[in-house]
């Protein structure tokens, strides 16, 4: 992987945590800053703000981390360069195994369980030389787009810690937006990279299915809906981490064989002549909190000044059928949790939503799974038809703005009752079921200062193209420049 572009010593800010991951990487490589200085700066920021936002959990003690940073500096003194993340503080989402760290999954069932080896994604990150400082918070078992759990508590949005950070990669997104992390990993089954990206005004990217192999599951063939992915304060950092964690794995038969180019080959796409299909709320099918659609359309409108054609479009598909497909396949994946349900001692420790998910798995017959598979294929083909007319498809990232973090999930949207704990996130299932690359890009803020994002979907396998559009979009908008006013104590 190529190194980040050089940075001049005079361009290094006094606050090292304000640098992007790529800038920080260059500053460390060129010895403008030491790894100890970087670690001290991040630890000071974490101790100052994390008690309020609760993004990073299971922290390593400061003395140990400073010693590890000093070792990273000595390695550079000896011309040993570990990779583009050399000596950078890094926290991993708490559903992934990092050797020697606890993996709680946000569940009291697994609290205190120490990982004996790295997961594949973590191993790929480790090869680039970061210093693991802790884990990032998530919902229990990653279920739901609200990062609360009985082990570590709830994570607040960087823009208002009274509101939810989203999920399931809520700790990762909040950690980025509060500058307690430079770059972060996450996972996405039902918008878990996209929704917290929107709720914290950062970039969250769901790769094409198979782009980032997952070594954690025992089913190598059928349950292909979730994926790991990167998050960043900007698109360049997101792309850099994607290239780090992506790539075919011999142990994963459905991992993609093609290789992403070096991050240096990612360039902002030329906007003039680009055709975008605006899916919106699927012609009124999806209830939306007032202001979501208007905010997204206003931001999309700025593209017209740069020669981009944005047209409303609608899939020729029964969206109720798509939701039923989602329910069937989502429940089906929960057969893996049957042992936790069957044991009375562990069942009582599961949140009600997890019990509902597992019980729903009992009703998934071979016929319903088969029918869901056919519907999923039909949906994929319908989006391919739309891609004959449009280069990209765009829709809101969430149906509501960040809400009170004391609420587990919205009971209604604009007067429409939500019949499941995740119905309020129905807007994200299209990208998941089609296995497409989807990037959350910032859409701006409502009158209360709550952030929102848009999902940008590209054809299967075109991860680079989607990120290159995000780079171009980022260059002509200023949404990511609006930083949160952080709170130290009390909310």
Per the CB < 8 A criterion, the answer to whether 172 and 158 are in contact is no
| Catalytic-residue membership of 93 | yes
DSSP state of 93: E
Per the CB < 8 A criterion, the answer to whether 295 and 447 are in contact is no
Q: Choose among 188, 163, 191: nearest CA to 177.
A: 163
CA count, 13 A, side-chain hemisphere, 136 = 32
**Which tens digits make up the pLDDT trace of 397-425?**
999 999 999 999 999 999 999 999 999 99
Per the CB < 8 A criterion, the answer to whether 93 and 169 are in contact is yes
Residues 6 or more apart whose Cβ sits within 8 Å of residue 194: 188, 204, 206, 397, 428, 431, 438, 439, 440, 453, 455
Pick the catalytic residue from 145, 192, 255, 299: 192
**Which tens digits make up the pLDDT trace of 44-78?**
999 999 999 999 999 999 999 999 999 999 999 99
**Which tens digits make up the pLDDT trace of 286-301?**
999 999 999 999 999 9
pLDDT tier, 160 (very low <50, low <70, confident <90, very high otherwise): very high
Pick the catalytic residue from 93, 135, 405, 464: 93
Q: What is the mean pLDDT of residues 385-400?
A: 98
pLDDT score, position 223: 81
Q: Choose among 392, 360, 369, 359: nearest CA to 458.
A: 392
pLDDT score, position 114: 98
> Is the confidence at residue 491, as pLDDT, over 80?
no
> Is the confidence at residue 29, as pLDDT, over 70?
yes
Per the CB < 8 A criterion, the answer to whether 139 and 168 are in contact is yes
The CA distance from 307 to 443, in Å, is 19
* Helices (runs of H) and strands (runs of E) counted in the chain: 15, 17
pLDDT score, position 489: 75
> Is the confidence at residue 441, as pLDDT, over 70?
yes
pLDDT score, position 106: 98
pLDDT score, position 206: 98
In the block, which residue shows the tokens 């899939």? 315
**Which tens digits make up the pLDDT trace of 331-361?**
999 999 999 999 999 999 999 999 999 999 9
Q: Choose among 128, 88, 90: nearest CA to 2.
A: 128
3 state DSSP class of 444: strand
Return the axis-axis angle of helices 235-245 and 21-29, rounded to nearest 10°.
Answer: 70
Pick the catalytic residue from 168, 169, 215, 255: 168
CA count, 13 A, side-chain hemisphere, 489 = 0
> Is the confidence at residue 1, as pLDDT, over 80?
no
> To the nearest whole percent, how much of the chain has pLDDT over 90?
95
pLDDT tier, 218 (very low <50, low <70, confident <90, very high otherwise): confident
pLDDT score, position 214: 85
Q: What is the mean pLDDT of residues 242-262?
A: 96
Q: Which of 59-63, 180-184, 220-224, 452-456 has the lowest mean pLDDT?
A: 220-224
Q: Which of 29-33, 88-92, 393-397, 485-489 has the lowest mean pLDDT?
A: 485-489
> Is the confidence at residue 490, as pLDDT, over 70?
no
The CA distance from 388 to 377, in Å, is 17
pLDDT tier, 219 (very low <50, low <70, confident <90, very high otherwise): confident
Q: What is the mean pLDDT of residues 187-199?
A: 98
pLDDT tier, 370 (very low <50, low <70, confident <90, very high otherwise): very high
| Average pLDDT over the chain, rounded to an integer | 97
Strand partners, 187: 228
| Catalytic-residue membership of 192 | yes
> Is the confidence at residue 216, as pLDDT, over 90?
no
Does domain 9-481 fall under CATH 3.40.470.10? My reply is no
- What are the backbone angles phi and psi of residue 114, rounded to the nearest 5°? -100, 130
Q: What is the pTM of this model?
A: 0.97
Q: What is the mean pLDDT of residues 136-152?
A: 98
Q: What is the mean pLDDT of residues 204-224?
A: 89
Q: What is the mean pLDDT of residues 265-274?
A: 98
Q: Decide: residue 319, CB within 10 A, 0-12 exposed, 13-18 middle, 19+ buried.
A: middle
pLDDT score, position 217: 73
> Is the confidence at residue 193, as pLDDT, over 80?
yes
3 state DSSP class of 224: coil
| Catalytic-residue membership of 302 | no
The CA distance from 419 to 465, in Å, is 36
> Is the confidence at residue 155, as pLDDT, over 60?
yes
């Amino acid at each position: 992987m190529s190194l980040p572009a050089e940075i001049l010593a005079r361009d290094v800010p006094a606050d090292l945590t304000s640098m992007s991951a790529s800038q920080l990487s260059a500053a460390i490589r060129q010895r403008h800053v030491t790894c100890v200085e970087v670690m001290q700066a991040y630890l000071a920021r974490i101790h100052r703000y994390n008690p309020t936002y609760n993004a990073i959990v299971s922290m390593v003690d400061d003395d140990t981390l400073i010693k590890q940073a000093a070792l990273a500096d000595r390695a550079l003194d000896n011309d040993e360069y570990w990779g583009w993340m050399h000596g950078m503080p890094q926290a991993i989402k708490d559903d992934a195994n990092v050797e020697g760290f606890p993996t709680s999954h946000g569940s009291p069932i697994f609290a205190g369980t120490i990982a004996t080896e790295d997961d594949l994604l973590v191993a790929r990150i480790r090869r680039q030389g970061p210093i693991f400082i802790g884990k990032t918070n998530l919902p229990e078992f990653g279920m739901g787009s609200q990062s609360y759990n009985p082990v570590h508590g709830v994570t607040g949005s960087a823009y208002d810690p009274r509101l939810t950070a989203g999920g399931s990669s809520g700790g990762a997104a909040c950690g980025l937006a509060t500058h307690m992390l430079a770059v972060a990993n996450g996972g996405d089954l039902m918008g878990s990279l996209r929704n917290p990206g929107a709720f914290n005004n950062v970039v969250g990217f769901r790769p094409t299915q198979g782009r980032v192999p997952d070594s954690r599951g025992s089913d190598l063939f059928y349950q292909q809906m979730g994926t790991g992915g990167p998050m960043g304060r900007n698109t360049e950092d997101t792309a850099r981490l994607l290239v780090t964690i992506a790539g075919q794995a011999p142990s994963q038969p459905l991992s993609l064989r093609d290789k992403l180019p070096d991050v240096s080959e990612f360039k902002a796409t030329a906007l003039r002549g680009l055709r975008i299909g605006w899916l919106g709320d699927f012609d009124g099918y999806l209830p939306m909190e007032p202001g979501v659609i208007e905010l997204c359309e206003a931001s999309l409108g700025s593209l017209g000044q740069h020669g981009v054609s944005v047209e409303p479009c609608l899939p020729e598909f029964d969206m109720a059928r798509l939701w039923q497909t989602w329910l069937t396949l989502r429940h089906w994946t929960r057969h893996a949790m049957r042992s936790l349900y069957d044991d009375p001692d562990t069942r009582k420790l599961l949140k009600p939503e997890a019990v509902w998910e597992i019980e729903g798995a009992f009703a998934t017959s071979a016929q319903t799974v088969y029918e869901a598979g056919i519907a999923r294929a039909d949906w994929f083909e319908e989006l391919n038809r739309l891609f004959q007319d449009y280069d990209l498809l765009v829709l809101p990232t969430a149906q509501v703005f960040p809400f009170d973090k004391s609420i587990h999930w919205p009971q209604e949207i604009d007067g429409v009752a939500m019949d499941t704990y995740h119905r309020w996130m129905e807007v994200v299932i299209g990208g998941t079921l089609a296995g497409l690359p989807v990037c959350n890009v910032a859409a701006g803020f409502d009158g209360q200062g709550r952030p929102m994002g848009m999902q940008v979907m590209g054809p299967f396998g075109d991860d680079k193209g989607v990120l290159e559009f995000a780079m171009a979009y980022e260059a002509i908008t200023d949404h990511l420049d609006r930083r949160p006013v952080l709170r130290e104590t009390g909310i």
